[in-house]
Structure 1
């Protein structure tokens, strides 16, 4: 049987599915270091990862490796130049998490705007003694302007939610979406600068690339309204976390909601010391139904890419389909 590595703990029933096709090496412990991952990949034909970095060194050390299936939409953990050079296929799990992630982004935005975390900590500390007219005044969501940076599937799901709150929707994207989608969402395309100046609530839903590194930094935060909120459910590194912490501390913006961070799982200590930020540990897709769908889609990709199952040779979600059918370099 072909050999695969499952680099993270996942649902046992998905492992049982994979065992019907492969000899499975399943890491049920801590996250593998780069060295440990390379060692475990050395004799493998395929792998299922969940954000684990797979680069040129790991690929070079694994001469049999033909596919790495990522249990995530983003794949900035893959060195795609190395994948392509070696004719190794990468796959991901889009679509199945759109709605759950949009739900969570909405919850994070509302929690930041209405100071939910800040007020809960205050209550738990025993400080609530009386009602006050100016206690934890936040920002309205209804009737405000939502700015979406990254109008892909999840961005469009957020824009649909905005209609129920009677919000104006403006967006910025690498390229404009189709006119019929703009009309359906009642969304206006604007420059990034215009969006930051006009939006009451900014949500980031763009992929991480070298070009998108620190899309939001000190200069961009300075353009935002003093009461505006910033929500990041995209990827760490899109926001300059140090600059954001300083802007929050100085109250140059109202609040922020973050599910992703630079260098996660480490979090910039400055963010931990400011009260007007809601922090969650990369859980935007964390419902049981969605995480199961992601795990099973990652398994589907791996099974098909290694020539097994009803879709043999035709994985549902190839990132670099041009390498399918090519011999390993």
Structure 2
């Protein structure tokens, strides 16, 4: 008898074809009714789950008698109740590393786009406003040789810093809960307290994991500390930033601009951010390239299969189960 696997979101077609050959595959779809009710029904005798972008916790996993693994096609795992999964001895796996460079590319694109007002000037040009030589209202900020402050010098943060250091000859500052010399030394990156980094950086990029320490890390007080010409970029999680405080800082020109890929509520359907010219808003596309999404799906598939075939998965968030 084949083991049963639930695909709880859209999954790469090649990976789906592999799963269909090996397992009894059930695909969850909003077209089939309430998603959580589908999960509750099918998880009762499921052995594994694969997907991304859905909240999974006791409310929709209760009664999962055989579930061994939830394999997420993501690096972040704040959608999952890790404590509950661990208590139930269910592996939670994720896909780090394969999206590092792609996400860093996106972060630096936001930094450049916000600093040179690209989104605003694109609209301005298409609306026929380009009637004479541009003036100060259309001027941007130089990037080369400036100071880049990275909050969260992990793999993605370090990849962003490399682009600044070697591509734009930027001075690199960073803030972590603790110093990270392995990442910092090759970049000549200097450790700073959060307040010092905000005060001294021309560009601030947030690349931290979402946890108890990083939730609401940046608010009104922190924006007050930043320089008026500063550009703020968030590619971490929306909950790291007090969104209303950011909106106020942009409206009051306490900072020059912002580039955002994440928000407190997603998908973002309406927001004061949409009325501001000094912010670039993207729909959470940090890893959204065809090549990277295929790599993520394949790694999630390998994590899933490893557990179902009795092997230790390569990228488990939890573990140590007997």
What's the C-alpha RMSD, in Å, of the aligned pairs?
1.6
Structure 2 unaligned regions, length at least 5: none
- Larger mean CA deviation between 66-75 and 122-131 belongs to 122-131
Structure 2 residue 102 is the aligned partner of structure 1 residue 100? yes
Task: Supply the distance in 2 between the matched residues of 1:32 and 1:212 (Cα, whole angstroms).
Answer: 32
Task: Supply the distance in 2 between the matched residues of 1:228 and 1:63 (Cα, whole angstroms).
Answer: 52
Please tell me whether the aligned partners of residues 59 and 83 of structure 1 are also in contact (alpha carbons under 8 angstroms): no
Q: 1:175 to 1:279 in 2, by over 3 A?
A: same
The count of corresponding residues between Structure 1 and Structure 2 is 319
Please tell me whether the aligned partners of residues 237 and 263 of structure 2 are also in contact (alpha carbons under 8 angstroms): yes
Task: Supply the distance in 2 between the matched residues of 1:32 and 1:66 (Cα, whole angstroms).
Answer: 24
- Larger mean CA deviation between 86-95 and 155-164 belongs to 155-164
Task: Supply the distance in 2 between the matched residues of 1:150 and 1:224 (Cα, whole angstroms).
Answer: 17
Quote the offset at 1:222 in angstroms.
Answer: 0.8
Structure 2 residue 312 is the aligned partner of structure 1 residue 314? yes
Quote the offset at 1:42 in angstroms.
Answer: 2.7
Quote the offset at 1:303 in angstroms.
Answer: 0.7
| DSSP-derived class of the 1:48 partner | strand
Identify the residue that residue 254 of structure 1 maps to in structure 2.
256
Quote the offset at 1:84 in angstroms.
Answer: 1.2
Identify the residue that residue 172 of structure 2 maps to in structure 1.
169
Q: 1:39 to 1:229 in 2, by over 3 A?
A: farther
Counting only pairs closer than 5 Å after superposition, residues 1-329 of structure 1 correspond to structure 2 as 1-29=2-30, 33-163=35-165, 164-178=167-181, 180-266=182-268, 269-307=271-309, 312-323=310-321, 326=322
Task: Supply the distance in 2 between the matched residues of 1:78 and 1:262 (Cα, whole angstroms).
Answer: 17
Q: Which one has the bigger helix percentage?
A: 2
| DSSP-derived class of the 1:289 partner | helix
Please tell me whether the aligned partners of residues 28 and 35 of structure 2 are also in contact (alpha carbons under 8 angstroms): no
Task: Supply the distance in 2 between the matched residues of 1:77 and 1:318 (Cα, whole angstroms).
Answer: 15
Quote the offset at 1:33 in angstroms.
Answer: 4.0
Structure 1 unaligned regions, length at least 5: none
Task: Supply the distance in 1 between the matched residues of 2:269 and 2:94 (Cα, whole angstroms).
Answer: 26
Q: 1:35 to 1:193 in 2, by over 3 A?
A: farther
- Larger mean CA deviation between 166-175 and 156-165 belongs to 156-165
Q: 1:133 to 1:236 in 2, by over 3 A?
A: closer
- Larger mean CA deviation between 180-189 and 76-85 belongs to 180-189
| DSSP-derived class of the 2:26 partner | strand
Task: Supply the distance in 2 between the matched residues of 1:64 and 1:124 (Cα, whole angstroms).
Answer: 57
- Larger mean CA deviation between 81-90 and 37-46 belongs to 37-46
TM-score by length of 1: 0.93
Task: Supply the distance in 2 between the matched residues of 1:274 and 1:38 (Cα, whole angstroms).
Answer: 42
Task: Supply the distance in 2 between the matched residues of 1:268 and 1:4 (Cα, whole angstroms).
Answer: 36
| DSSP-derived class of the 2:273 partner | helix
Please tell me whether the aligned partners of residues 151 and 173 of structure 1 are also in contact (alpha carbons under 8 angstroms): yes
Task: Supply the distance in 2 between the matched residues of 1:47 and 1:265 (Cα, whole angstroms).
Answer: 23
Quote the offset at 1:51 in angstroms.
Answer: 2.5
TM-score by length of 2: 0.95
